[in-house]
Each structure stands twice: as structure tokens, then as C-alpha cells.
């Protein structure tokens, strides 16, 4: 067997019908000619009744059985972990492994799932509920501190909703509008285009639009095809399972804002809880040693939730650092992955960032480009599906 058959597919390679989302039919054939017709037949939805509203239909289509474990098992596991510190160590160690195993299972099938989004939102709501019902009545938190935590919660939800409004999908009209704009520009100042400097002519090939082998549409530079969403995204960074959406040119700033606000709110909330439960300990040592915390079930549950929140916060801090470094080097997650696969990039800062050297224009200019980039779509219409 040749090596080409064993090599993993590139992110933009056409998906064979053996790798379709509906895995029950994955053994039918491996013919590339039947790929488009096979997947369109399998993914065809039955028409909904005329009396069904769009919002209700969207909710029904997006409900999953995988949301039930996130809504029921989390409080039970946290309460079981609060019974004894040994149970807490076992459960809190096994919980990330279970989540990662489910992630790889859904990632291998290239399908969207609401499990991670439901888990994130329910965890956020459950932590805030315990903060109000268990920590606030103790009298160790001032009204101003309570307002700060509540404001952080609200800002996190608002930023998440703004992020969910769309990553900036590539449409056919985008390329047509660009061609019309170029034709208008060439007719208006054709003499100026002839006198363009040599540097501009050298940069022309890098701005060439390419044809997506899956969507069969022309897409701008740095755009990529997401197999999970089934569409091309402008300046695709990655598909985030925690928001059940891609991170692209239109929502990358709001995604970074959501992570920043959540990390700051989580760290501040954890510090308030530890100061209330362990007033005689330092914050760092209180997380590892808090005498008498397992005497009462309420304090044991709050202490266990501090550990649960700390695990999530550490993961998000790593994500935040990686995002900041990628922006500083003007490279996306997809470009870094392709650069490592093609051996065209250089790992820096202990592997936290991959420097491709293709789009970087310096630290300051890279951040200016990131903060000022706009969604170049011709039209943007949000639907109820975008919010889930």
C-alpha cells in the first residue's frame, strides 16, 4: 500500500463518502465521483410542517441527547467529589479525561455537537448559583464585589452571544463583489495601475483567490474550509467546540474578548470563595490546604467547585496565551497546523506558537491588523441557528 493512502487528509481536501458525518453508511464505497451526491442524499432533511415557527424548528433540530449528561451528571459528580478529598481527586482527575474522550469521538466524526456549549453554560450558571446561595449569605463578600462578579457574568454571556453571530462565512457573492470592485477601479484609474510599484506587483500572487475543492466557490486568502460546519470561513483560525462554531475573521476579536472576560471573572470569583472558606490561608495555599472545609457539606461543595473552576481556568489561560502569541506573529491556528504538516514553520516559545513568516509585519502592525480587520462579506444575516 502506498504512503499516499495512509497520509491523513489535508483540511481542504474533498471529503470522501467513507468519511461522511453519518458513520453508519461509511462502508458503502470510497469512490470520489459519488462524494457530492452521496453526502447530499444522506444529509437531506425532511420538510417541516407549515405551522411550525422558525425558532421552534431551530430548537427541535438542534436538541441533542448529548446535552442530558452535561445538565444532570455535573451536579451529581461535584457533590460526590465533595464527600471526601480522595473522591474529589479521583473525580476531578477523571472528568477532564471523559470530556477529552468525547471530544475526540465527535472530532473524528466531523460533526457539530451542543454537549460542550451546554457544559460550559451550565457550569457557568451552576458556579454562579452556588456563589449566590452559599458564599453570599456568609457575609464575607461585599456588595461591590458581588456587582463585579455579576458584571463579569453578564459580559461573558454578551460576548459569547456576539461571538456566536457568525465567523464570517465565504459566499459566492463575495467574489463577485470583489471582481466588480476591481473592474470599477481599473476603469477609473487604469493609468495608476500601470504605474504600480514593483513591491505591489510582487505581493499580487499572495492575494490570489483560490477555489475550494469542497464548496466549489472562490475564497479569499487565508480562508479555510471547516468540515464540521461544512462551509468556508474567512481567515479561519479553528473550530471551537465550546462555542459550537468556527472562529474566523468576523468573530475572532469577540472570541478573544469572551475568553479574557471569563478568565478574569473566574480568577476573581475563585479568590473570593477561597477568602470566605479559608480566611487564615493565602490564596495559593488555600487551594491545596484548607483545614475544616470538609466538615460541612456546603463548604465542601464550594471548595470542590473551586477546584473544578481552577481546572477550567487553567485550560482557558493556556488557550488565551496561545491566541495572543498567534496574533502577535499574525498566524492562525489553521495556518500553524498546515505549516507544521508541510514543515514550513518554525516552533517558538517552547512550541506555543508557530512562526510561518508569511503574513507577519511586526508585533505592532500585527495587532493593528487584528484589531481593525472587518468582515468582508457582502451581506450578513443572523438566524436562530447561529445562536446555537
**SS3 sequence, the chain?**
CCHHHHCCCCCCCCCCHHHCCCHHHCCCCCCHHHHHHHHHHHCCCCCCCCCCCHHHHHHHHHCCCCHHHHHHHHHHHHHHHCCCHHHHHHHHHHHHHHHHHHHHHHHHHCCCCCHHHHHHHHHHHHHHHHHHHHHHHHCCCCHHHHHHHHHHHHHHHHHHHHHCCCCCECCHHHHHHHHHHHHHHHHHCHHHHHCCCHHHHHHCHHHCCEECCCCCCEECCCCEEECCCCEEECCCCEEECCCCEEECCCCHHHHHHHHHHHHHHHHHHHHHHHHHHCCCCCHHHHCCCCCCCCCCHHHHHHHHHHHHHHHHHHHHHHHHHHHHHHHHCCCCHHHHHHHHHCCCCEEECCCCEEECCCCCCCHHHHHHHHHHCCCCCCCCCCCHHHHC
Would you call 49 a catalytic residue per the annotation? no
Which residues are CB-neighbours of 257 under 8 A, at least 6 positions away? Answer: 159
Q: What distance lies between CA 182 and its chain's CA centroid? A: 34
How far apart, in whole angstroms, are the C-alpha atoms of residue 55 and residue 310?
Answer: 36
Q: Which of 20, 229, 232, 240 is catalytic?
A: 240
Active-site positions? 240
Amino acid at each position: 500500500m502506498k504512503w499516499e493512502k495512509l497520509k491523513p487528509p489535508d483540511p481542504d481536501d474533498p471529503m470522501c463518502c467513507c468519511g461522511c458525518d453519518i458513520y453508519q453508511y461509511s462502508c458503502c464505497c470510497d469512490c470520489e465521483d459519488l462524494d457530492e451526491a452521496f453526502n447530499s442524499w444522506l444529509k437531506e432533511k425532511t420538510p417541516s410542517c407549515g405551522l411550525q415557527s422558525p425558532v421552534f424548528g431551530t430548537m427541535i433540530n438542534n436538541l441533542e441527547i448529548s446535552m442530558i449528561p452535561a445538565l444532570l451528571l455535573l451536579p451529581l459528580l461535584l457533590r460526590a467529589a465533595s464527600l471526601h478529598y480522595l473522591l474529589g481527586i479521583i473525580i476531578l482527575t477523571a472528568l477532564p479525561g471523559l470530556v477529552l474522550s468525547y471530544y475526540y469521538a465527535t472530532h473524528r466524526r466531523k460533526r457539530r455537537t451542543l454537549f460542550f456549549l451546554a457544559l460550559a453554560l451550565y457550569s457557568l450558571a451552576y458556579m454562579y448559583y452556588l456563589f449566590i446561595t452559599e458564599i453570599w449569605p456568609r457575609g464575607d463578600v461585599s456588595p461591590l464585589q458581588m456587582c463585579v462578579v455579576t458584571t463579569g457574568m453578564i459580559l461573558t454571556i454578551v460576548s459569547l452571544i456576539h461571538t456566536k453571530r457568525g465567523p464570517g462565512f465565504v459566499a459566492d457573492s463575495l467574489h463577485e463583489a470583489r471582481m466588480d470592485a476591481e473592474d470599477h477601479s481599473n476603469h477609473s484609474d487604469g493609468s495608476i495601475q500601470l504605474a504600480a510599484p514593483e513591491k505591489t506587483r510582487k505581493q499580487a500572487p499572495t492575494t490570489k483567490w483560490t477555489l475550494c475543492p469542497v464548496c466549489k466557490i472562490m475564497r479569499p486568502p487565508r480562508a479555510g474550509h471547516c468540515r464540521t460546519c461544512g462551509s468556508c470561513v474567512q481567515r479561519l483560525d479553528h473550530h471551537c467546540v465550546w462555542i459550537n462554531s468556527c472562529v474566523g475573521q468576523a468573530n475572532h476579536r469577540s472570541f478573544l474578548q469572551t475568553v479574557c472576560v471569563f478568565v478574569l471573572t473566574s480568577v476573581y470569583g475563585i479568590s473570593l470563595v477561597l477568602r470566605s472558606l479559608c480566611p487564615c490561608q493565602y490564596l495559593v495555599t488555600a487551594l491545596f490546604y484548607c483545614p475544616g472545609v470538609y466538615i460541612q457539606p456546603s463548604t465542601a461543595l464550594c471548595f470542590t467547585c473551586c477546584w473544578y473552576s481552577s481546572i477550567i481556568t487553567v485550560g482557558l489561560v493556556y488557550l488565551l496565551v496561545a491566541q495572543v502569541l498567534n496574533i502577535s506573529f499574525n498566524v492562525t491556528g489553521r495556518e500553524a497546523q498546515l505549516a507544521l504538516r508541510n514543515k514550513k514553520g518554525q516552533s517558538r516559545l517552547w512550541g506555543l506558537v508557530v512562526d510561518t513568516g508569511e503574513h507577519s509585519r511586526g508585533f505592532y502592525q500585527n495587532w493593528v491588523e487584528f484589531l481593525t480587520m472587518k468582515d468582508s462579506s457582502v451581506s450578513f444575516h443572523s438566524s436562530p441557528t447561529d445562536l446555537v
